[in-house]
Chains A and B, each alone.
Chain A
Amino acid sequence: MNMPQNLGRAPRRILVPGITALALGLALSACGASNEGSSSGKSAETLDGAGSSAQESAMDAWRSAFQKDNSNVTVNYDPSGSGAGIEKFNAGGIDFAASDSALNADKGEIDAAKKRCGADAIEVPNYVSPIAVLYNVQGVKDLQLSAKTIAQIFDGKITKWNDAAIAAENKGAKLPSTTISPVHRSDESGTTDNFTDYLEQASEGAWSHPADKVWPIQSGEAANGTSGVVAAVGQGDGSIGYADLSQAGDLSSVKIKAGSAYVAPSAAGAAKAMEASPVEDGRPESDIAIKVDRKSTEAGAYPLLLASYLVACPTYDDAKTADNVKGFLSYVVSTEGQQAGADNAGSAPLPASLQEKAAKIVDTISSKG
Chain B
Amino acid sequence: MSSTVTRTRSPRRLGDLVFSGAAFGASLTILVALAGVAIFLIIQGIPALGAEPSDLNGKPNLLAYTAPLVFGTLWAALIAIVIATPLAIGVALAVSHYAPKRLASPLGYLVDLLAAVPSVVYGLWGIGFLGPRLVPPYEWLDQHLGWLPFFAGPASTTGRTILTAAIVLAIMILPIITAISREIFSQTPRLNEEAALALGATRWEMIRLSVLPYARSGIVSAVMLGLGRAMGETMAVAMVLSASGVVTFNLISATNPSTIAANIALSFADATGLKVNALVATGLVLFVITFVVNFAARAIVSRADRSVSR
| A→B interface (CB under 8 Å) | 78, 80-81, 83-84, 87-88, 90-91, 93, 179, 181, 186-188, 214, 218-224, 231-232, 235-239
With contact pairs A222-B243, A223-B242, A235-B158 given, residues A80 and B270 touching in the complex (Cβ less than 8 Å): yes
Given A218, A221, A224, which contacts B157 in the complex, CB threshold below 8 Å?
Answer: A221
Which residues in A have their C-beta under 8 angstroms from that of B243?
A: 186, 222
Q: Which residues of B contact A235 (CB under 8 A)?
A: 131-132, 157-159
Given the complex of chains A and B, what is the CA–CA distance between A272 and B156 in angstroms?
A: 38
* Closest CB in chain A relative to B53 CB, distance in Å: 11
Residues on the A chain within 8 Å of B267, using CB = 187
B266 and A224 contact, CB distance less than 8 A: yes
Q: Are A91 and B272 within 8 A (Cβ)?
A: yes
Which single residue of chain B is at the shortest CB-CB distance from A224?
B266
CB pair B154–A186 under 8 Å, yes or no, is no
10 residue pairs of the A-B complex, CB under 8 angstroms, read A81-B270, A84-B270, A186-B243, A186-B244, A218-B255, A223-B242, A235-B132, A235-B157, A235-B158, A238-B157
Known: A214-B58, A236-B157. 15 other contacts (CB 8 A): A83-B270, A84-B270, A84-B272, A88-B272, A93-B272, A186-B242, A186-B243, A187-B266, A187-B267, A218-B255, A219-B255, A220-B254, A222-B243, A223-B242, A235-B157
Interface contact A84-B271, CB-CB below 8 Å: yes
Residue B246 is within 8 A (CB to CB) of chain A in the complex: yes
Choice from A80, A90, A218, A238 contacting B246 with Cβ under 8 Å: A218
Question: In the complex the two chains form, what is the Cα distance from A236 to B157 in whole Å?
Answer: 4
What is the CB-to-nearest-CB distance from B202 to chain A, in angstroms, rounded to a whole number? Answer: 49
Q: Which of A81, A93, A232 contacts B242 (CB 8 A)?
A: A232
Q: Does B269 contact A (CB under 8 A)?
A: yes
Contact A236–B156 (Cβ < 8 Å): yes
Q: Are A87 and B242 in contact (CB under 8 A)?
A: no
Residues of chain A within 8 A of B272, CB atoms compared: 84, 87-88, 90-91, 93
Binary flags per residue of B250-285, CB closer than 8 Å to A gives 1, else 0 = 000011000000000011011111010000000000
Q: How far is the CA of A232 from the CA of B275 in the complex (A)?
A: 27
Bound together, the chains give a CA A231 to CA B239 distance in angstroms of 12
CB <8 Å contact, B58 and A179: no
Identify which of B131, B135, B255, B270 contacts A220 (C-beta below 8 A). Answer: B255
Q: Bound state CA distance, A91 and B154, in angstroms?
A: 42
Taken together as a complex, chains A and B put the C-alpha atoms of A87 and B159 apart, in Å, by: 33
Which of A78, A87, A222, A224 counts the most chain B CB atoms within 10 A?
A: A222
Closest 5 CB pairs of A and B: A236-B157, A84-B270, A221-B254, A87-B272, A235-B158
A222–B270 CA distance with the chains assembled, in angstroms? 16
Q: Is the CB of B269 within 8 A of A78?
A: yes
Output the least CB separation between B16 and chain A (Å).
21
The proximity string for B residues 209-249 relative to A, scoring 1 for CB distances below 8 Å and 0 otherwise, is: 00000000000000000000000000000000011111000
A80 touches B157 (CB 8 A): no
Assuming the contacts A218-B244, A222-B244, A232-B242, asked whether A239 and B157 have C-beta atoms less than 8 A apart, the reply is: yes
B270 partner, pick from A181, A187, A223, beta carbons under 8 A: A187
A188 to chain B, nearest CB (A): 7
Residues of A within 8 A of B132 (CB): 235
A218 contact set on B, CB distance < 8 A = 244-246, 255
Separation of A114 and B72 alpha carbons in the complex (Å): 40
Residues of A within 8 A of B275 (CB): 87
Contact residues in A for B269 (Cβ distance below 8 Å): 78, 80, 84
* CB contact under 8 A between A221 and B158, given known A181-B254, A232-B242: yes
How far is B135's CA from A232's CA once the two chains are assembled, in angstroms?
A: 13
Q: How far is the CA of A139 from the CA of B21 in the complex (A)?
A: 76
Complex Cα spacing A81 to B269, Å: 10
Name which residue of chain B comes closest to A178, CB basis.
Answer: B157
Question: Whole-angstrom distance from the CB of A181 to the nearest CB of chain B?
Answer: 5
State the Cβ distance, B48 to closest chain A Cβ, in Å: 16
User: Is there an interface contact between A221 and B154, defined as CB atoms closer than 8 Å?
Assistant: no
